[in-house]
Amino acid sequence: MLTFNNTSHDPFYNQAFEEYVFDTFREDDMLFLWRNSPAVVVGCSQNICREVSVPALRRSHIPVVRRISGGGTVYHDLGNINYTYIKSVDGLPDYGDCIRPVTEALNSLGIPAHQNGVCDIAIADKKISGSAQRVVKDRVLHHGTLLYSCDLGVLDGLTTFGKNDCFKTKGTLSAISSVANISDYIKNPMSVEDFRSALAEKLLPSDCKTVELTAEQAAEVEKLRDEKYKSREWTWGTTPPFVYEKTSVYRDEPIYVSYKAKKGIVSDAVVESPWLDGALASALMNGSFLCPEVFEDIGLNSPMTKTENFSAFLCELKIATVPFERKYIPWKKKSKCRNCVPK
């Protein structure tokens, strides 16, 4: 078995690292632990706007990252430890084959953890870990979280209580679970760094070989991070097709908004409000690219004849008017991913 001493806390780099290692090291089984600085990580088939409170993300300056596996939305910070198994399989992989060693390691540290359902680990009825998989031919990448001393208040504010039900989509929906930190149950208190070391000692066999990426390999990971994981085309452009429809109140008057989106491009927008030029609002939205990162750069100077706050209006819609330029995307290729909850 191989392991990697990946000390990066960059969530974009770490997703690229996983994919690069999965695609490059095709013979050996691998297991490694890693951590991210604060980030929201969504499954490959999820609608970000449906799963995450985008305004809360922007206020907290926390990035959203799309991974290559299925499953639901999770919050990472330095109080969370991630584990990744990569190995060869014969047929459809079993989640238990990868979860069982983790629960046994936790048990040996005095933590009463058990597999809960298909892809979770729990203590009593509190979830402490979720996992997902990506399968390519006879190789599986299985990764999961381990909430050790995570800021659960931020997790709830960004994901659990931030969902938007105005979206009609076939994208994977996240399950809402009651969660807890492992540190609340551990008998001998320790730092998250010490816990990671203790966990690694339990999980890694004595003959495990630590591999360091060469400078050229590290450069390839950085390239994948910059060209794919930091790109709007990957993060927002791979959002499954959806329809948004909402009736609400805007500046004390009723407002109705609907639009469709496919491959991150908005179409068929309808805006009806006494305060807005509906035809102009629709024209601004149609053909635009989903990317809430640029809400603040638009709106105030848009030629809206009936409102001074079109940017706030767009932010409420979770939509931005950014011209979309089609281009060749070198990282696109066919693959399979598995949702953490089977259909």
Q: Which residue type is seen at 254?
A: P
Between 234 and 303, whose confidence is greater? 234
Element (H, E) at 258: strand 253-262
pLDDT score for 310: 46
> 229: which DSSP letter?
I
Which tokens is 175 given? 């399950």
Which tokens is 217 given? 């390999």
pLDDT score for 295: 32
Per-residue pLDDT at 171 exceeds 80 = no
Tell me if residue 200 falls in helix, strand or coil: helix
Between 214 and 175, whose confidence is greater? 214
pLDDT category of residue 27 using cuts at 50, 70 and 90: confident
Q: What are phi and psi of 93, to 5 degrees?
A: -70, 150
Tell me if residue 339 falls in helix, strand or coil: coil
CA distances 249 to 224, 243, 246, 252, 270, Å, are 43, 20, 10, 6, 16
pLDDT score for 263: 84
Per-residue pLDDT at 294 exceeds 70 = no
Mind listing the pLDDT tens digit for each residue in 59-90? 788 999 999 999 888 999 999 999 999 999 98
Of the ranges 46-60, 67-81, 158-172, the best mean pLDDT one: 67-81
Q: Average pLDDT in the 51-64 region?
A: 81
Q: What are phi and psi of 247, to 5 degrees?
A: -115, 125
Mind listing the pLDDT tens digit for each residue in 215-248? 999 999 999 999 999 998 899 888 888 888 878 7
pLDDT score for 45: 87
pLDDT category of residue 173 using cuts at 50, 70 and 90: low
CA distances 15 to 35, 108, 217, 237, Å, are 11, 29, 15, 17
pLDDT category of residue 47 using cuts at 50, 70 and 90: confident
Mind listing the pLDDT tens digit for each residue in 182-193? 999 998 899 999
**CATH 3.30.390.50 residue spans of the chain:** 242-317
Contact 279, 257 (CB under 8 A): no
**CATH 3.30.930.10 residue spans of the chain:** 2-230
Task: Return the number of other C-beta atoms located less than 10 Å from residue 193's C-beta.
Answer: 11
Contact 18, 143 (CB under 8 A): yes
Query: What is the DSSP pairing of strand 39-42 with strand 2-4?
Result: unpaired
Per-residue pLDDT at 314 exceeds 60 = no
Q: Dihedral (C-alpha) 17, 22, 28, 29: value to the nearest 10 degrees?
A: 80
Q: Average pLDDT in the 140-156 region?
A: 92
pLDDT score for 109: 96
How far, in Å, CA of 310 to CA of 299, rounded?
5
Per-residue pLDDT at 318 exceeds 60 = no
| Angle, CA 43 vertex, CA 75 and CA 126 arms, to 5° | 45
Per-residue pLDDT at 161 exceeds 90 = no
Per-residue pLDDT at 36 exceeds 90 = yes
Task: Return the number of other C-beta atoms located less than 10 Å from residue 247's C-beta.
Answer: 11
Based on DSSP, count helices (H) and strands (E) in the chain, helices before strands.
10, 16
Q: Tell me the β-bridge partners of 74.
A: 41
pLDDT score for 166: 59
Q: Which CATH number fits domain 2-230: 3.30.930.10, 3.20.20.60, 3.60.15.10, 3.40.190.10?
A: 3.30.930.10
pLDDT score for 322: 33
pLDDT score for 52: 81
Considering Cα of 323, then 326, then 329, then 332, what sign does the dihedral take? positive
CATH class of 242-317: alpha beta
Q: Which residue has tokens 């709830």?
A: 156
Per-residue pLDDT at 101 exceeds 60 = yes
Q: Tell me the β-bridge partners of 86.
A: 30, 141
How far, in Å, CA of 138 to CA of 136, rounded?
6
pLDDT score for 169: 57
pLDDT score for 298: 31
Q: Average pLDDT in the 138-156 region?
A: 93
Q: Which residue type is seen at 272?
A: E
pLDDT category of residue 340 using cuts at 50, 70 and 90: very low
pLDDT category of residue 333 using cuts at 50, 70 and 90: very low
pLDDT score for 269: 87
Per-residue pLDDT at 137 exceeds 60 = yes
Query: What is the DSSP pairing of strand 2-4 with strand 209-211?
Result: parallel
Q: Dihedral (C-alpha) 150, 155, 157, 158: value to the nearest 10 degrees?
A: 140
Q: Which residue type is seen at 212?
A: E
pLDDT score for 260: 87
